[in-house]
Amino acid sequence: MFICRNQSCGAEWALSDVVIKNEGQGLLFRCPMCGARNYVERHDSPEGEVSYEQIADIDPKTKR
């Protein structure tokens, strides 16, 4: 489960709700509700399963 880090949004999304892509600064998904960038980290298990973990750090580009 991911939670949009835009505090005024805060929507919860399952992996199947979002599209994870790399826009050049790492993997992220755009919140389907507000469009905020939410960064994720990809994990590959030894069994070949792929999972994604949301990165809690605030994107410095939006902290202006």
Residue type, 57: D
Q: Please report how close the Cβ of residue 39 comes to Zn ion at its closest, in angstroms.
A: 13
Q: Would you tell me which residues interact with Zn ion (CB under 5 A)?
A: 4, 6, 9, 11, 31, 33-34, 36
Nearer to Zn ion by Cβ, of 11 and 27: the residue is 11
Nearer to Zn ion, 9 or 50 (CB): 9
Least separation in angstroms between CB 58 and Zn ion: 14
* β-bridge partners, 30: 37
Residue with tokens 């949009």: 4
